Structure 1
């Protein structure tokens, strides 16, 4: 059976066109679901064989109610399911109640002689409406949900608001005069070539039996209570998750402040010790020089820590809104390597690089690539003993440019590798060795790479050296966030 309806049909307008129409209430989609479920409960309990006219969201939670009724009442029922014909365009997101009407059929088989599809044109006014109309000699009812067009200042938009949590204008009625008006309107809107729908002599009962109404109200209360409990449970779970996230965030902040205080206290303790020793009257010149050098070193350490902290805070505050720019490695790496050549020569380290000029440009935040190269190259030189070789190599790997920093330095113990990007963490080759620094360089590198869709991996063995490999997206590859990898 083929049934089609005219595009100008609106159940909501038909209802509002009766004399003294029922008043619509602004309710949630969850309330609409509870009303539908209560209606189906009553039909199943009383085994009322009815003709149903429906237009509900395509999600399983809605369609399962129709399947539940049909499986219980069986062949004595008839269901007309209204469906927008989008002609394969995949027009989605305009269906009522939070669904996307982009599937050609509902979960119930439209090929069944007791379940028929009613075709609606793509621009049908019913696109903004959902309804369940029950037609039987014992009981008639209508549940209707209408989502108004989104209003804008000084104008009305033709765009439908599809927010799932947006309140709906819901009408529920058992008045025969209202339901008969809707039925008559549907019959007039049926295309001439369509088959007839209900018997021509069918008339809605004016008022349903009192016992049926009492049972319906009871079931509506039960279903609404069930929906409310589900909503409360979901909200409680969400609040618990938010509380846990806040708790975890507070713990991280406490740990951060604890580490920060410890890092600030350590240089101050060393400086206070040196100052007290300098006051000794029996201090010899070599000792005085050693303590003065200690003061100078610890002041540098304190300055490095404060500078690194300020840089990290500024980076975290501004990084999200910082635009990415196109930059070539061959414009950055040679200059940074030249800057570090005097330091490498002073330590007897051979410093070299290989960066082909034909490499494509990559995405990075403004100034970010230079900062990454400086930080990783500085670490390679700092942890490499005299006579070592430090290499910087770049090459193309698919949609990424790979930048590698290799050194034969002190290496990183396997247990330390997962910690090297943590704030204030500094690698120590032995308990008595301290290579200085604020322990923030790799943290900053990590933040920069996450912003520009890059990644970094680390391979290292203690006393054998380390290799840091950075991948940066080329300009032809849209940048995306990539997790830090540690090997």
Structure 2
């Protein structure tokens, strides 16, 4: 028969079109697996020497059921493993030759049967059991809408699809399916016995009742497993929510404390200013204190609003490709007056041939600004700050190095926490919000990047940022 006449072959349609065909029912892959297991349970328990015609979904879990039968039966059996012509050879064998040699009994006879390629059979799975005592058919078909492409149908795993399924012990339906398969294979092959394509028996009622009971038992196991997984998932979600609530409470506590500190200072200054015996120099000092704390309060509120806005917009913001050579020089030139005023040497080396990197819109500029601002703030007069970049492994690596006061080893894990400030004794850092490095870390997490710190007290710090370059998926990077 030529290939054209085979294109519409469908085991499912052969079963549906047969006389006395049962009504198909929609099932998921888990329920289909439970039905296969129930049939194998019956064959093993009754020690039924059956011939099997099979085409099951790829995956070890399906293969294990047939191996279980092969290992448990004490009589010769034939298994015809049906495959589509041209299918991936890696998925072809239900049991490899090595597995047969290591674990199988000498009674096993597995025959790989190649069927001509067609669109229908690619979406179908079946198990035909033939024996003098018991015969059955189980066939499932993935249902694809007309507006879905064939490629989508092939890529989807049966685990994620609804399968229209028919199960029957009616010999007329089974024989109709066998007749269809018979036209698809070369019976001249010495490996296929013509008698293995004939269903002659009428199933014993007791065996059908046993199969029905085992199907219920197997489905109960599936339901218990599903309930257990759902309970575990809900417990995990509850733990996540509780953790988020704890983090939120801790965050609000920190925010309240940070806002309360300058307010307390301002209230103290106002109280002292109301003293009738206040000297002009004292008044000026308290006014300066009041002004400083107002600025600090304003900085805190602005930084908090920026962080909240960032958290809300990051997920919805698309990533873009940006070149470091287009960002770093402009930021460095902006901070050159600050560096000169403090007597700090500020320089950068950014190769122009570095590939562009992934980041949210405007995010790379924020990262460079916060890191450079920190280095300048904590570097004393006469110090140096460098900004460099290079390719390192599969990433573009940006370094901001300074000869500043450094960070104690015990403080390094905390510097990315909200409101955390390095204990330096520098009055300038007290005015900061302690959110700059938090914002840097959030931005990098969102684009698959990361940041690490090396530092020694009185020697300086190195902030190393890894950025995902063009051609690499930013989703594969991360924390």
State the TM bucket, normalised to the shorter chain: 0.7 to 0.9
Partners of 2:325 and 2:31 lie apart in 1 by 63
After superposition, residues 213-224 of structure 1 pair within 5 angstroms as: 213-224=208-219
State the Cα deviation string for residues 370-399 of structure 1 (Å, max 9, x = none): 222221121112112233233333444455
2:121 matches 1:133:
no
Q: Which residue, out of 94, 104, 107, partners 2:95?
A: 107
| Matching of residue 388 in structure 1 with residue 383 in structure 2 | yes
SS at 2:48 equivalent:
coil
Q: Which residue of 2 aligns with 1:205?
A: 201
* CA distance 1:387–1:188, change in 2 (3 Å): closer
Equivalence for 1:352: 346
- Structure 1 pair 103–379 and aligned structure 2 pair: CA distance change class (3 A): same
Q: Secondary structure at the match of 1:374?
A: helix
Structure 2 CA distance for partners of 1:355 and 1:51, relative to 1, 3 Å: same
Distance in 1 (CA, whole Å) between partners of 2:247 and 2:346 is: 40
**Which of 377, 385, 390 is residue 372 of structure 2 equivalent to?**
377
Question: In 2, Cα distance between the equivalents of 1:124 and 1:480?
Answer: 34
Q: Which residue in 1 is equivalent to 2:81?
A: 81
Question: CA separation in 2, counterparts of 1:365 and 1:187?
Answer: 60
Structure 1 residues 300 and 131: CA distance shift in structure 2, 3 A: same
Residue 41 of structure 2 aligns with which residue? 41
Report the equivalent of 2:296: 301
Cα distance change, pair 202–397 in 1 and its aligned pair in 2 (3 A): closer
Distance 1:202 1:394 in 2: 73
Gaps of at least 5 residues in structure 2 are none
Q: Does 1:427 align with 2:422?
A: yes
Residues 279 and 328 of structure 1: is their aligned pair in 2 closer, same or farther, counting only changes over 3 Å?
same
Aligned to 2:63: 63
Contact kept? 1:7, 1:120, Cα under 8 Å:
no
The residue aligned with 2:330 is 335
- Give the direction of change, closer, same or farther, for the CA distance of 1:330–1:259 in structure 2 (3 Å limit): same
- Contact preservation (8 Å) 1:396, 1:402: yes
Partners of 2:396 and 2:58 in 1: how far apart? 46
TM-score scaled to structure 2, two decimals? 0.88
- Offset, 1:419: 0.8
Change (3 A) 1:176 1:242: same
Which of 386-395 and 138-147 deviates more?
386-395
Distance 1:42 1:213 in 2: 9
Whole-angstrom CA distance in 2 between matches of 1:396 and 1:45: 64
**TM-score, L = length of structure 1:** 0.86
Whose helix proportion is higher, 1 or 2?
2
Aligned residues: 463
Change in CA separation of 1:400 and 1:216 when aligned onto 2, cut-off 3 Å: closer
CA contact (8 A) 1:333 1:373 kept: yes
The 2-side partners of 1:190 and 1:182 are apart by 13
Q: Hey, what's the Cα distance between the residues in 1 that align with 2:471 and 2:50?
A: 60
